[in-house]
Amino acid sequence: MARYYHEPRLTALCRYAFLSFVLSAPGVVQSALMQKRLLVKQRTKANITAVLTSSVIGSIMAWQGFGYWALATQTNTYILLNTIFYWRIAGWRPSLSFDPEPVRRMFRFSCKILASTIIFQINNNVLNILLGHYFSARATGYYNQAYQWNSKVIYLLQGMLGAVSQPVMVDLRNNPSRQLAALRKLVRFTAFLSFPLVLGFGLVSREFILITLTEKWLQSASYLEILCIGGAFLPISTLLSDFII
C-alpha cells in the first residue's frame, strides 16, 4: 500500500490502523446477540459513549499535533470501546468446542450476503483509493475525514434502527400484509430521524469541524456537507435491503 501511494510513512500507519480488524472481531457475535434480543437501549448507549470518548481522544491528539495518528487512534478507540461494552452487555462467552453443522446450513445463504457486502464496501471505499493515488495526501485526508464523520452518524442510525427492524421483519415473515404495513411505518420513522439528523449535521459541519478538529481540517466541511445529502437516504436504503433479505 505504501508503494502504491508513494508514501513510506503509510507502512507504520497501516499496521496500526489495521488493528481495528483484530479489535472488532471479538465483538461480532455479541453484537448479533444484542440485536436478536432487541437490546436497543443498551446498544445505543454503548455506541454513543464510544463515539464521544473516541472523538475526545482524537481531538486532544489532533490539538497536540499528532496529525494522522490522531485519526487512526480515534477509530481504534471507538472499535475497542464498542467491543468491551458488547462483551459486558451480551453476557455470551465463547467455548473451545466447535460444531461445523450450523455453518454448513447457513453457508449457501450467508455467502451471498458476504458477496454483496464486499461489493458494497468496495463501492464505498474505491474513491478513497483513487483519490490517494491521483491527488495529494492533503486532499485525500480532507475527504477521508469528512467520510468518516458522515459514516459514524449514519452507522449510529443504522445500528439503532436495524436492531429493531430486522427482528420485527423476521417475526412477521409469515404474514406478508402485516409485514408490509410494518415496513411502511419503519420507512416513515427512519426518514423522520434520518433527514433532520444527517442533513442538520451537514448544515453545522463547519462549526463541528472547527470545534473538534480545529481550523486545520476546515476544508473537510465542504466534503461533509455534500456527503450528508446522500447519507440522509442511506438508512432507508439499508432498511429496504434488510426487508428483501
DSSP class per residue in the chain: -HHHHT-TTHHHHHHHHTHHHHHHGGGHHHHHHHHHTT-HHHHHHHHHHHHHHHHHHHHHHHHTT-THHHHHHHHHHHHHHHHHHHHHHH-----S----HHHHHHHHHHHHHHHHHHHHHHHHHHHHHHHHHHS-HHHHHHHHHHHHHHHHHHHHHHHHHHHHHHHHHHHTTT-HHHHHHHHHHHHHHHHHHHHHHHHHHHHTHHHHHHHHH-GGGTTHHHHHHHHHHHHTTHHHHHHHHHHH-
Q: pTM, whole model, 2 decimals? A: 0.62
> What is the domain count for the chain?
3
| 59/146 same-domain check | no
Same domain, 52 and 142: no
Tens-binned pLDDT, residue by residue, of the chain (245 aa): 778 777 788 889 889 999 999 999 999 889 888 877 778 788 888 988 998 999 899 889 988 888 889 889 999 999 999 999 999 998 888 877 777 887 788 787 778 778 877 887 787 777 777 777 777 778 888 888 888 888 888 887 887 777 677 777 777 777 888 888 888 888 898 899 899 999 999 999 999 888 887 788 888 999 999 999 988 998 888 788 777 76
Q: Are residues 90 and 154 in the same domain?
A: no
Q: Looking at the structure, do residues 140 and 204 belong to the same domain, yes or no?
A: yes
